[in-house]
A = this chain, B = another copy of it.
Amino acid sequence: MPAGRPMRADARRNYDKIVATARVVFAERGTDCSLDEIARRAGVGPGTLYRHFPTREALVDALMKDWAGRVVRDAEAAVTADLPARATLMTWFESFVEHITLHRGAAAKLCAAMDDPSSPIFGKCQIMGEANRRVLDHLEARGELRPGVDAQNVMRIIGGIASVTDSSRVDLDVRPMLEVVVDGLVTD
């Protein structure tokens, strides 16, 4: 991002207050909570919130500041652990699901943004996509992946599992589902 000139002190203060409050409220009520409530609890007017974050996704994006680093780190860890393909994929996919379901409702938003370059969180999807490709390429190079598998589609499948799990009333275990996908990806 172009630096522009530094933010004015009050702007910076409010920006930070909003982000901090959003983190709390998103955790409490999920990503679809009222934005005006966040503004109220942050002690700013709604106008201030919307000036800093024109859309809900822009706010979600701001919360994911250090998220990208964690994603890349986990992908790298899965690769360097140098385990059998099945274990590598399971580890990575579990991380994937965990990252994408940080807040309730986030998974569906991320999935929807995967093919929407105009979305503020499209960049995050790209990062996720690159991390995912990193893992798959590694396995492919070792011939442990079935040919013709598109990394983007793998991301969609795992994203779908995460979304469904996230929107379910009950607490589901994603691993059996991930195992099916893993079995569908590895060569035997």
Contacts and interface: CB of A to CB of B under 8 A. Distances in A.
Interface stretch (A36-44, A60-68, A112-120): A112-120
A149 B111 CA distance: 26
Tier of interface size on chain A: 35 or more
Interface stretch (A18-26, A49-57, A76-84, A150-158): A150-158
Interface string A113-131: 0111000000000000000
Interface string A140-166: 000000100110011011011111110
Interface of A: 108, 111-112, 114-116, 146, 149-150, 153-154, 156-157, 159-165, 167-170, 172, 176-177, 179-185, 188
A182 B183 contact: no
The 7 A-B pairs of least Cβ separation, nearest first, read: A160-B160, A184-B184, A183-B184, A180-B184, A160-B164, A112-B167, A115-B170
